[in-house]
Amino acid sequence: MIRVKIKSWTASFRYPTFQSGYQPTLPVPPLSTIQGILSAARGEVVSFTEIPFVGYVFKSGGRGVDLERIYALGKTETDVIKREVLFDNTLYLYLPDEWENYFRRPRYQLLLGRSSDMATVESVEKVKLEEKTNVPVGGTIVPATSGLPGLVHALPVEFDYSTIPRRARMARPFTVLPFPRNNAQRKRQTYGGKLLYDSEINIGVWIYEGLHGKV
Amino acid sequence: MKFAVGMVLIDAPHSALNMLGIDESLPERTVTRVKRLRKGGLSYPYVSPQAWRYWWRKTLSEHFGWTLSPLFREEKQVFTAANPIVFPDDDVFGYMRAFKKGNVNITVTRMSPLKNTPLISLFPDRSSITADEGYASRHEGDPVPYTQEFYSTVLKGAFSLDLDAVGRFTMVDKAGFKNLLNVGEIPKSLSEVKSEYEALISKAKEIKAEISEKELIMPKEIRKKRASETIKALRYIFGGAKQTQYLTDITPKFIIMAMFDGGINPFISDIVYEERGEIKFDSEALISRILEFNDILNPKKLFIGKDKGFMRGWEDELKKVRDSLDKNGIKVVIASVGDAIEKFAKEIEAYYG
């Protein structure tokens, strides 16, 4: 498999339950954001059904709050809302080898969220991950059924782009696991089962295989 | 696919270009604060990406005579005209016009070919921000105290312009790709929209745009003009809050630009960084980033603009970049900021033929 290292100065991932007012960001991207990045790289909408496996780890250096003027539907005056953004981010994608070409020459600009969250590919490497048991997971989302403790959210897996506006094709409950910052968190987020382990980043990688309809 | 990408440094020796307002979470409610991003124990001042875009759009209007798309309201909604044929800013900056009447949904969206990051301070707040205590007073009555923060720093920003997308509008039924409607699909009941579109299409025919079922491509002269002026505007860009009191020149003092056959911007990394109160330029980082993507660097040129008075010590580092990339067949043009931008704009024009 390959590991694509993507970096960005800012990132933002829509928090599902907030509709207006304060817009927090999820600490890690949902799968639908990964679908968007893969689609931008390939130049056409990608579905996870056609990808044998995909995994990701996201790390963020910090965060901040931005103000944004919005024009709300059905309201004449403008509003200023607060939007949270993540700062200095790295996303590692674990993909089948054939994706190397797309990430060496992405068809569209890669974004980690909105259009200002421009990202760049720092490297594409072939990696061999070892399978291990009892490893910490983080910087990703795992199915709520994994038994790992964390914030559970119903998150979109994929979007259907054939309708305007796009619609979530499927949403499932996931446990959101930020990248562990200390040993206590690593311990808490340790998964008992078998998992691929990236020794360079020192984290277990949750791999989604044949995702569609099975999550 | 072809992307014109770059990185800028903006010198802000005493500035408050984009403010947060009063932070209600603090006990003192008289402090107007600057926006900050936090990282570890440090915070970094920044300017919103949309603020930079707003200055950029304004500069295109005032320096290059662009007629900006009007904002108008329909049934309490606000949008731009969403007419990229007539209004160049709708083309370059994108739009969304959500339109629904009864059961008919005729929403158009255009992803912005021009994307930009926020402008982020290289110095953390503890070595860049000052709180200025002020009094509003006219020698009559009691003076009113207030406090406002401002910073002395250098801001970094990056941008990317999708040259293929400029002047090219798709009419595909896919979210983000329905830039224009097909006249045929607009129901008769929406006669206003229909006549608006008939005018739009006849205008496109008049200027000899290429029109097919799925896309509309503007004549190359127009695409060339819009794309190159977008980049040229950086040379004249002006705007920002508190200019009366701080008068910050927001034109870049340092700029790196190149064209790539892929949607990457290798300059979004730590080519320029702060170390013990000094701003450093890492020539090795820049060289390795360019070589990493050498296969999609096209033409094999890198444009670097630097203001003579800005970071005098960087000249040697820049020479290193030039010598090292030259060995790999990459030409490095080092010039003043204005010249570098003009030369880069010429390359953009050459792309459209």
Q: What is the pLDDT of residue A210?
A: 76
pLDDT band at A200 (very low <50, low <70, confident <90, very high): very high
Give A165's contacts in chain B (Cβ within 8 Å): 98, 107, 175
Higher-confidence residue of B31 and A107: namely A107
Residues 213-272 in B contacting A (C-alpha not used; CB under 8 Å): 261-269
Pairing state between β B168-170 and B114-116: unpaired
Q: How far apart are the CA of B13 and the nearest CA of chain A, in angstroms? A: 22
Q: What is the pLDDT of residue A73?
A: 66
Give dist(CA B252, CA B9) in Å, integer: 5
Question: A158: closest CA among A23, A14, A3, A36?
Answer: A36
| Mean pLDDT for all residues in chain A | 92
Q: What is the pLDDT of residue B341?
A: 98
Average pLDDT on A116-134 reads 95
Give A12's contacts in chain B (Cβ within 8 Å): none
Q: What is the pLDDT of residue B74?
A: 64
pLDDT band at A161 (very low <50, low <70, confident <90, very high): confident
Contact B118 A109 (CB under 8 A): no
Contact B115 A76 (CB under 8 A): no
Q: How far apart are the CA of B138 and the nearest CA of chain A, in angstroms? A: 32
Residues 26-85 in B contacting A (C-alpha not used; CB under 8 Å): 35-40, 43-44, 46, 48-50, 73, 76-79
Residues 273-312 in B contacting A (C-alpha not used; CB under 8 Å): 292-293, 295-296
pTM score, two decimals?
0.90
Q: How far apart are the CA of B241 and the nearest CA of chain A, in angstroms? A: 14
Please tell me the number of Cα atoms within 13 Å of B276 on its side-chain side.
Answer: 0
Q: Is the minimum CB–CB distance between B103 and chain A shorter than 8 Å?
A: no
Question: B55: closest CA among B268, B235, B253, B223?
Answer: B235
Angle subtended by helix axes B49-64 and B220-232, to nearest 10: 120
Higher-confidence residue of A144 and A72: namely A144
Q: What is the pLDDT of residue B71?
A: 82
Higher-confidence residue of A165 and B3: namely B3
Q: Which residue of B has its CA nearest to A70?
A: B78
Contact A63 B37 (CB under 8 A): yes
Q: What is the pLDDT of residue B261?
A: 97
Question: B283: closest CA among B264, B265, B262, B304?
Answer: B304
Domain ranges of chain A: 2-209
pLDDT in tens, A84-105: 999 999 999 999 999 999 999 9
pLDDT band at A81 (very low <50, low <70, confident <90, very high): confident
Q: Which residue of B has its CA nearest to A67?
A: B20
Share of chain A above pLDDT 90, in %: 77
Q: What is the pLDDT of residue B145?
A: 87
Contact B292 A123 (CB under 8 A): yes
For B53, the enclosing helix (H) or strand (E) is helix B49-64
Which residues of chain B register pLDDT less than 50?
none
Q: What is the pLDDT of residue A17?
A: 76
Average pLDDT on A159-185 reads 89
Contact A40 B21 (CB under 8 A): no
Q: Domain spanning A2-209 has what CATH number? A: 3.30.70
pLDDT in tens, B307-350: 999 999 999 999 999 999 999 999 999 999 999 999 999 999 99
